[in-house]
Amino acid sequence: MADYTENANTKLIEAIERIKESEGKDREANQMLESELLNNAEFIMPVMIADEESAEDRKLLYGVTAMKDGRPFYMLFTGKDKLKSWNKEGRNIKTVTHKFEMITDLAYGDEHIFGLVINPGTDNFIIARAAISDLRARIKGEAMGLQGEKSSAEEEVEFRNVREDEVSEELKNSLIMAMRNDPKIVKGYFRDMVRNGHLDYVVIIDHTGTMEESFPKIMSICKHHSHDRSVALLSAKAPIAAKAIDGVEPIYTA
């Protein structure tokens, strides 16, 4: 029987193998991994079903594994063979298959989870919680026609004062109005960003709630007032945010 999940993850598996062989130095493989996670990847996840007899109350409990430090990680498998390699005892395990976007939602909403481990027992490839948040922000942004922003402090990015033109002024004023209507936004910054030779807007938000509470509204404003210019959205809690707002006055302060 064909393993559709493994077929969907062919490039992802290749990227993981190359990253491990290069000890993380293969930049092309890292980009391939990111692209597959954002666009194509799906995973088998072991589950237990609580209240199985009642369809209305049924709840999925996702399998976790503890790494060397004892911290729990959700288990993801790229195909049936990888699951079988982990389940050496041949136990009867219930599973579900999810796209990566849904998995990031699950992990993001579970404060006890420290990350994801792909193919435990074989590849043991870990995606830490910080990376999950970054990828999830990009997925949610790209779903609305935006480009999410990485949060690595080491990434080579240049920040500039926003270009002065009608589009920038329109977007700035719209952002200020939206921020005023969100009690969870403390400050907002609006800048230009040059990354990999591309010029984008970047909106940095200092917020008291979660990204999920405030970012979708700001993303919607950007989509409707950026006139197809690329916009990245960044939490002030991200490591690179300090560089982005250094010496700059916010466009909004609560």
Per-residue pLDDT band for 99 (boundaries 50, 70, 90) equals: very high
Q: What is the dihedral of CA 95, 55, 111, 98, to 10 degrees?
A: 40
Q: Which residues contact 14 (CB under 8 A, 6 or more apart)?
A: 29, 32
pLDDT tens, 38-89? Answer: 889 999 999 987 765 555 556 788 999 987 778 899 999 999 999 999 999 9
Q: Does the structure show a pLDDT above 50 at 150?
A: no
211-236: average pLDDT: 83
Tell me which of 176 and 112 has the higher pLDDT.
Answer: 176
Distance CA(3)–CA(5), nearest Å, equals 6
In the block, tokens 């302060």 appear at 253
Q: Following DSSP, what letter does each residue of 51-115 receive, concatenated?
A: TTT-TTT-EEEE-EEE-TT--EEEEEBSSHHHHHHH-TT----EEEEEEHHHHHHHHHT-TT--E
The pLDDT of residue 56 is 54
Provide the phi-psi class of 63: left if phi over 0, else alpha when psi is between -120 and 50, else beta: beta
Mean pLDDT of the chain: 85
Q: Which domains does the chain have, with CATH numbers?
A: 4-142 (no CATH), 158-253 (3.30.70)
Tokens of 25: 């130095």
Distance CA 194, CA 196 (A): 7
- Output Rg (C-alpha) for the chain, integer angstroms: 21
Distance CA 8, CA 5 (A): 5
Across 178-200, average pLDDT: 89
